[in-house]
Structure 1
């Protein structure tokens, strides 16, 4: 539910830049790799005298070029264990021919004992692991182009993204193009990507040495010569500037209007699908949680703005899963202490991914609460009830239900009746909010005991708050009584007064007595 065509205040350029931070997680590289790569790419595009349209295309192509890397995470984890480590370390090699084959073989079974590793390498070579690894690059390109299309980017950007793994010498994937036949936009991005990583690790000397070693093979020789001849300009202040500000303030296309509210929600659906690509068992999870949570929030009588907030936070709640190896998500047995600790951090990684855009920061804060519990037993922060607004309680219940009814490598999917029992037990134990659980179960199609209809469209929580207001309790006292944040209580009081058409406590008390909504006295 959104306010339609009104501007959201979020520019497409900001949205794509935020998505690049999730890509950093999937690549196993430090935060802002893709942003720094984009700074280099924009500078190189100007040096190469690309047209203004091509320079704008470089911006989006650079930010999105590796977003599809997660599409093959499951396959990479199958052969190599840690897909994030594989991608991070691949920057050290010229990715073609014997160097690439040697690199892949060295990665197979890397964490296993000698005997098991030899067996794994044999399977990799005999069972077509090399072909599968190369073929996954094509999947990557298709996924990336699909994301660009869904975000409403021009066709020329999609075409450039489709050439992400072509090479100057024609030995790329799928290997249909070579040299000048490759789009100049993606040629610039190719150079910028590896250059950033080598510059970060070893400075200008390491970056230019790498470029010279791959001149005319992996990279356009003219672009390599430009970087080497103008290294001071290309790398100027790269370690001192904020890559985020540099990209958005100095490098983003001039034409990047704010998305409408509907467009923003649609774009966040893309984010949710992107998160779910991390593992086959996640497919469709984010969209399903969003539909369930939004329905539940509406049933609870939350304001439209809160319903939209819950829906959007649900769409993006799992972006942080890219910071965990697919080998962990796909593991059929118990997690080690280290693996479990990484899993516990994924809500925080979601929050950090969205924190740079002010209008998305609120979503990130809410999304990061989806595994918190009212009794403090959740993660990553172990927050308690007073730190969880009703929106977070609805999201937590929706995530719990959908996760239960979806299969995971270590267990089968629960039947709906069993999932209902799980949620009821969590509510009884004080882990989940009972009202939120009822709303989620009703939204999921379960029969829930119906309460009598409340007057003026009040939700059960609002009726509770009204009864306590009528008895003269302050917002802070009500917050303590109901285990809510004072700010949440203030919002409830405002909504109650608006719904029943009063502006004073006395008038609210009259309404509460008339309709039998006076709360029990609080024992002091």
Structure 2
């Protein structure tokens, strides 16, 4: 459903396959792999599926199970970083070992508490050693549930979501969360397991290395039948993959390559991409939708043409995709950032541009999305441009983003209330960093807090809404109890009731439920009809 007050029915529809391919580029960043890893993996998978003579629907599932197979990982970046420090570095290192037994335990132990003082790291490593399997199982259970939900939100076939529930299972039954084995695991996932690893080994060590790794894991993580097909036809399966235009080649194999979305469908999928990006850091839950609504409503308030309103709204939805390329160790750091960390943060708008600029129909959206952190006085990033180089749309999106961020908590500060956030925004305009007209337009469409309200959705109480927001921000039961001055057992009971009322079972799903019910996005006045 389009938010009231923005003209979003106009404008061209987008290619569904291209948008999903763009999502895969963002997934690559979070895996610590170069962009096009998942696209190349999907090509490998489709070539294996053809040789195994799978039916068309299975081949479609193979393609997308590879393309978005690790989509659930990023929703758990907060938890992963709490265990292993740099979530991206940890994921990258998992490609160096078979994820089972002593080698995997050694890998995990090498990452536990990384970046912490020596004494703290030793304590955390000891504690992790005692609870390793249960903590990893909890993470994987959350990942699988999140992957299915996100797959559904992207509009993928239900078979893709069902397949993704097995992404951490193994042929030999030593996987998680259910210990499924052999043919109880969909063949599409057996193919995905081989293809994902082959791509990395091929790119970093060559074909001989890829074949050696597949042979060594056949009958363990890998299906012997799939491994045998790859071993037999490896040269043909990987032929040209390191030389071709992977984007074009992979899209040519997309099952829905000819499907163009309606404008409304385009905005729905862009909204799902917004939620996906925001789940990277629980402090930013609902951020992108909030920015999009503010920018769209403010643009209408200023009388901008409908096409420009559409572009601003869409830029608001997708401006944060590049954040997936920055570790949560940086996003959630409580102290000051180092020079290297600051430079990493300053890169994310450029990463957003790299992800989106190949999608046809977003040519007017990408420049807006890339400049939302630039400032009139040239003090912003990533380019440090200012003045006349920033269009009216650039300035408006920057003001909307700045206001929305002030309303949200960060690891180093609590959220500002709307009045204080408005004062801060006006101060930035007075100092010449933000455009005064854009700031005035954003503040004009911010809805005042109502003194009376209708009941909360899903039968939630005031306390349960408070609990939901804290859960969505990644707070543990212990942290919620301390925040609200209640017993930890009481906090746990509240959380369980919230989950029951919303029909969810983890933080990611709770956060998405909060977004869907308007509990994670600041309200905006309706402007126009």
**Matched residue, 2:89:** 85
- Is the contact between residue 11 and residue 307 of structure 2 (CA under 8 Å) also seen in structure 1? no
- Structural mapping, 1:258-407, within 5 Å: 258-407=260-409
**Matched residue, 2:129:** 125
- Is the contact between residue 74 and residue 279 of structure 1 (CA under 8 Å) also seen in structure 2? yes
**Matched residue, 2:151:** 148
Structure 1 spans left out of the alignment, 5+ residues: 448-524
**Matched residue, 2:59:** 55
- Structural mapping, 1:172-183, within 5 Å: 172-183=175-186
Of 112, 116, 122, which aligns to 2:120?
116
Aligned pair 1:95/2:99, yes or no? Answer: yes
Number of aligned residues = 444
Q: Considering only aligned residues, what root-mean-square deviation do their CA atoms show, in Å? A: 1.7
Q: CA deviation at 1:389?
A: 1.3
Instruction: Report Cα offsets for 1:281-328 as digits up to 9, x if no partner.
Output: 111111111111111111111111111111111011111111110011
User: CA–CA distance in 1 between the matches of 2:77 and 2:106?
Assistant: 20
- Is the contact between residue 2 and residue 262 of structure 1 (CA under 8 Å) also seen in structure 2? no
- Structural mapping, 1:220-235, within 5 Å: 220-235=223-238
Secondary structure, aligned partner of 1:444? coil
User: CA–CA distance in 2 between the matches of 1:118 and 1:425?
Assistant: 45
Relative to structure 1, the CA distance from residue 228 to residue 159 in structure 2 (aligned partners, 3 Å threshold; closer, same or farther) is same
**Matched residue, 1:494:** none
Structure 2 spans left out of the alignment, 5+ residues: 1-5, 450-529
Of 214, 219, 239, which aligns to 2:217?
214
Relative to structure 1, the CA distance from residue 416 to residue 2 in structure 2 (aligned partners, 3 Å threshold; closer, same or farther) is closer
User: CA–CA distance in 2 between the matches of 1:2 and 1:183?
Assistant: 43
Instruction: Report Cα offsets for 1:147-195 as digits up to 9, x if no partner.
Output: 2212222211111112111111111111242111111111111110011
**Matched residue, 2:525:** none
User: CA–CA distance in 2 between the matches of 1:2 and 1:304?
Assistant: 6
The answer to which structure, 1 or 2, has the higher relative contact order (CA under 8 A, 6+ apart) is 2
Q: CA deviation at 1:60?
A: 1.4
Instruction: Report Cα offsets for 1:184-236 as digits up to 9, x if no partner.
Output: 11111111001111111100011111111110010001111111111111110
- Is the contact between residue 17 and residue 63 of structure 1 (CA under 8 Å) also seen in structure 2? yes
Q: CA deviation at 1:255?
A: 6.2
Instruction: Report Cα offsets for 1:368-401 as digits up to 9, x if no partner.
Output: 1110011111100011121211111111001111
User: CA–CA distance in 1 between the matches of 2:256 and 2:284?
Assistant: 37
**Matched residue, 1:522:** none
Of 168, 171, 174, which aligns to 1:171?
174
Secondary structure, aligned partner of 2:12? strand
**Over alpha carbons, which structure has the higher Rg?**
1
Secondary structure, aligned partner of 1:358? coil
Secondary structure, aligned partner of 1:230? helix
Relative to structure 1, the CA distance from residue 272 to residue 361 in structure 2 (aligned partners, 3 Å threshold; closer, same or farther) is same
Q: CA deviation at 1:110?
A: 3.3
Of 182, 187, 191, which aligns to 2:190?
187
Aligned pair 1:204/2:217, yes or no? Answer: no
Alignment TM-score, normalising by the size of structure 2: 0.81
Instruction: Report Cα offsets for 1:465-503 as digits up to 9, x if no partner.
Output: xxxxxxxxxxxxxxxxxxxxxxxxxxxxxxxxxxxxxxx
- Is the contact between residue 62 and residue 188 of structure 2 (CA under 8 Å) also seen in structure 1? yes
Alignment TM-score, normalising by the size of structure 1: 0.82
Of 10, 21, 29, which aligns to 1:17?
21
- Is the contact between residue 13 and residue 361 of structure 2 (CA under 8 Å) also seen in structure 1? yes
User: CA–CA distance in 2 between the matches of 1:7 and 1:229?
Assistant: 49
User: CA–CA distance in 2 between the matches of 1:385 and 1:261?
Assistant: 33
**Matched residue, 2:160:** 157
User: CA–CA distance in 1 between the matches of 2:155 and 2:339?
Assistant: 42
- Is the contact between residue 182 and residue 223 of structure 2 (CA under 8 Å) also seen in structure 1? yes
User: CA–CA distance in 1 between the matches of 2:8 and 2:283?
Assistant: 33
User: CA–CA distance in 2 between the matches of 1:291 and 1:108?
Assistant: 40
Relative to structure 1, the CA distance from residue 183 to residue 7 in structure 2 (aligned partners, 3 Å threshold; closer, same or farther) is farther
User: CA–CA distance in 2 between the matches of 1:403 and 1:125?
Assistant: 38
Q: CA deviation at 1:79?
A: 1.4
